[in-house]
Amino acid sequence: MEDKVKFEMEFPIHASPQLLYQYISTPSGLSEWFADNVNSRGELFTFIWDDSEERAKLLSKKSGERIKFRWMADEEEGDNYYFEIRIQVDEITKDVSIIVTDFTEEDEIEEAKMLWDNQISDLKQVLGSA
C-alpha cells in the first residue's frame, strides 16, 4: 500500500468561529453538511451516507478552534492519517477561514479536493454564507 499524501485547503467563510465550531464538532452540526447522519459514542463517531457507513475516532478538539478525526479503517491498519478541520481568524481583518487537512492517495488528490469543495460549499449554504 503506497503512502497517502497530505494536502491542505483553505476556505474563506462568513460566519462566527463559535457558530462554525458547532457545525464541525457536533454530530448534529456535522449531519447538516458533512454526512447524511452522524452519531457519536464518546470519541467514536459514525458517519452515514446513503447506504455506506464510516467510523472515525475523535483524536483531538479545541473548543472554537479545531477538530481532528482518524478513520477507523486507518486506525486498524496502524496508519497515522487523519483529517482536521480548523477555524482560522485573521488577527487584523477578522476574516474567518476553514482550513482542511486531509490525506489521500497521490492519484486521488484532485478528487479529494473536489469532495471537500462540495462539502464546504454545503456548509456555506447551511450557514447562509454561500
Domain housing 30: 5-125
Average pLDDT over residues 22-51: 96
Give, to the nearest 10 degrees, the angle between helix 17-25 and helix 109-127.
120
Residue 68 CA to residue 101 CA, distance in Å, equals 9
pLDDT band at residue 39 under the 50/70/90 scheme: very high
* Residue 130 is assigned to a structural domain of this protein: no
DSSP 90-124: -TTT--EEEEEEEEE-GGGHHHHHHHHHHHHHHHH
Total domains in the chain come to: 1
Q: What is the pLDDT of residue 1?
A: 54
Count CA atoms closer than 13 A to 35's CA, side-chain side. Answer: 22
Residue 95 CA to residue 14 CA, distance in Å, equals 8
Q: pLDDT per residue over 56-101, tens digit each? A: 999 999 999 999 999 999 999 999 999 999 999 999 999 999 999 9
Residue 16's domain is classified under what CATH number? 3.30.530.20
Q: What is the pLDDT of residue 85?
A: 98
Q: pLDDT per residue over 107-126, tens digit each? A: 999 999 999 999 999 999 99
Q: Give whole-number Cα distances, 45 to 16, 39, 91, 111, in Å.
A: 25, 6, 32, 24
- pLDDT above 70 (res 130): no
* Residue 37 is assigned to a structural domain of this protein: yes
Residue 60 cell numbers, joined: 483531538
pLDDT band at residue 129 under the 50/70/90 scheme: confident
Residue 116 cell numbers, joined: 471537500
Note the helical H segments in 6-104: 17-25, 27-33, 72-76
Helix H or strand E segment including 88: strand 83-89
Q: What is the pLDDT of residue 51?
A: 87
